[in-house]
Amino acid sequence: MSIQWFPGHMHKAQKEIAEAIPQIDVIIEVLDARIPFSSENPMISELRGEKPVIKVLNKRDLADPEMTQLWIEHLEKEQNVKAMAITTSQPQEVQKILELCRKMAPNREEVGKNIRTMIMGIPNVGKSTIINSLAGRTIAITGNQPAVTRRQQRINLQNGVVLSDTPGILWPKVENPHSGFRLAATGAVKDTAMEYDEVAFYTVEYLAQAYPDRLKERYQIEELPESDVELMEEIGRRRGALRSGGRVDLHKASEILLHELRSGTLGQITLERPEMITEELVQVEIDTARKLEEKIKKKEERRKRYLRNKR
């Protein structure tokens, strides 16, 4: 699944971020704990240089705790990166972000200057809720629709930390097709930008492998069918998503599955593991090289046709 979503305000935001980063001491990147890799913005790695980064895995209450710990260890292998897992329903966890900022920029506090931070994250990752919690008042607009924040703003948290907020930005194109599906499954992209059924089939296939007992328990299925379509049909039957004549309404069944995943009704689930990503990125490189080879081949064929016609 290829997602391309780069509206004008996101392009502008990227430019503004690049201009502001030299004046920033610590970058705070908010990730979705269920998809730590897919919710990372590769542009941030390019823009930050060697700036210290705190990777905040938000929505930890919806993610698999064991997987979250694995991801924290994996992310901290990168230089100048610290990772932590939080849920915004626990304000004391959110406040720990500021403690970590102080540890990562001790020089500023020593000379009595504010620590200048910038908070980033893809749409719908909970960034605005975190800002409001840190500020102790409503500053950022919150909503469960992607791309609510539109402009950059600076917030003095009155405790030695100044926070620059940025619009939620996605990158021009999600190269890893698996990431596209995971972003859609967790609601990071608008539902209108995807085929619900396609995303649900992808998701249920992963869940059947990684969390089969959750599916069996939730939908009262003794033995999971082999194929994703059969499994979605069974879920639809169990949940009464039927059309006239008793046929399963797959779109309705897909809505049920994705809603129950997003709300945590299916339990604490993580949709990707560090070792999976390594394999997927190798495949992306192979596919990219193949596409480039095909492009060069077509170009050469066009050149030969042109020379033949010229004779």
Q: How many CB atoms lie within 10 A of CB 295?
A: 10
Which residues partner with 84 through β-bridges? 56
SS3 annotation, the chain? CCCCCCCHHHHHHHHHHHHHHHHCCEEEEEEECCCCCCCCCHHHHHHHCCCCEEEEEECHHHCCHHHHHHHHHHHCCCCCEEEEECCCCCHHHHHHHHHHHHHHCHHHHHCCCCEEEEEEECCCCCHHHHHHHHHCCCCCCCCCCCCCCCCCEEEECCCCEEEEECCCCCCCCCCCHHHHHHHHHHCCCCHHHCCHHHHHHHHHHHHHHHCHHHHHHHHCCCCCCCCHHHHHHHHHHHCCCECHHHCECHHHHHHHHHHHHHHCCCCCCCCCCHHHHHHHHHHHHHHHHHHHHHHHHHHHHHHHHHHHHHC
Query: Which residues are annotated binding-site positions?
Result: 58-61, 124-129, 168
Query: Which residues are annotated binding-site positions for GTP?
Result: 58-61, 124-129, 168
Q: Token pair for residue 164?
A: 């620059």
Contacts (Cβ under 8 Å, ≥6 apart) of 132: 138, 139, 140, 142
